[in-house]
Amino acid sequence: MTAPIPKTIPEYLEQLRAALAGSDPALIQDALYDAEEYLRSEWAEQPGVDEATLLASVAGSYGAPSEVADIYRDTEATVVQALRAPPPKQRDSLLGRFFGVLADPLAYTALLYMLLALVTGVFYFTWTVTGLGLSVGLGTLIIGIPFVIVFFASIRGLSLVEGRLVEAMLGERMPRRPPYAVRDQPMLSRIKEMFLDPRSWSTFLYLLLMLPLGIAYFTFAVVALAISLTVAALPFAQAFTDQGVMSFGDLSIRLAWWTAPMTLAMGAILIVLTLHAARGIGRMHAQLAKNLLVKSSQG
């Protein structure tokens, strides 16, 4: 059954949301934002035209909601296919699957994300705590109201920045546009909706969590890499020094030459385990970001 032609822009957006039901919430958020931007820019260029007439004419150029939904799905599939790194070759053996992580780019980018998480976590936490503190302190003053609004807007901006990092480094589709807002509402209603939006508060939670998570990720990545690379480098370090690889007071221990292959193998296995752990942590963190930063497709 063909949906009736929408009479207003919010009606068009609701039909587009319904047509995209079941798609990735990040895709739905981007599609709604793009559609609203296009429709309102068209309406601004034709000030004497009512919404119903505008939408009837736009249906032929921009497309009906169902057509736009199909275009977004097709475009998303094409872009994902084009940007996705070649998947690592599937291996049937246990050893093949174990060492196959060495050919998975997401394992390396996830490890890099863990190293960067300390810097981003400190910045997010500092920005959020400082902004909340100033908002509470200035909230009783007239000058504090604009500050609180700008601060909430900055938090949404940070969520987009973090989303780009998560998508680029962890491979999870995240929004590329802000959440769309019903601009027909009065400004006070839109501000109230921003404060009451659960995603605003879940974003606060995410940014605060990034400090302890960033510390944990960074510590794990540095310690795991240090141990792995140190074990792998022991034979080379011993070959270029007269000192033993381990010292206990005056006692210096040197490894026998025949242990070098075992040491190298142990170091390689530790590196592979580190990449497996980084990839697993990256997947879990990507789901955390998706659940806390992306607006639900139902609202």
Extract the tokens encoding 1. 């059954």
| 296 phi-psi bin (left φ>0, alpha ψ -120 to 50, beta other) | beta
**Residue 254 or residue 244, greater confidence:** 254
Average pLDDT over residues 240-266: 63
Which residue range forms the structural domain that includes residue 54? Answer: 9-83
Is 149 domain-assigned? no
Is 297 domain-assigned? no
Is 14 domain-assigned? yes
Domain count, the chain: 1
Is 225 domain-assigned? no
Cα angle 80, 203, 179; round to 5: 55
**Residue 252 or residue 271, greater confidence:** 271
pLDDT score of 298 more than 70: no
What is the reported pLDDT for 237?
65
What is the reported pLDDT for 84?
61
Is 155 domain-assigned? no
Average pLDDT over residues 142-155: 83
DSSP letters of 74-123? HHHHHHHHHHSPPPPPP--SHHHHHHGGGG-HHHHHHHHHHHHHHHHHHH
The pLDDT confidence band at residue 145, using thresholds 50, 70 and 90, is confident
The pLDDT confidence band at residue 239, using thresholds 50, 70 and 90, is low
For 35-61, what is each residue's pLDDT tens digit?
Answer: 888 888 887 787 777 777 877 777 667
**Most confidently modeled of 9-13, 91-95, 211-215, 238-242?**
211-215
Mean residue pLDDT of the chain comes to 82
**Best CA proximity match to 113, nearest among 283, 228, 296, 292:** 283
Is 248 domain-assigned? no
**Residue 14 or residue 4, greater confidence:** 14
CB 5 within 8 A of CB 59: yes
What is the reported pLDDT for 164?
93
Is 24 domain-assigned? yes
Q: What is the dihedral of CA 93, 94, 95, 101, to 10 degrees?
A: 100
Q: State CA 285 to chain mean position distance.
A: 9
What is the reported pLDDT for 197?
79
Is 160 domain-assigned? no
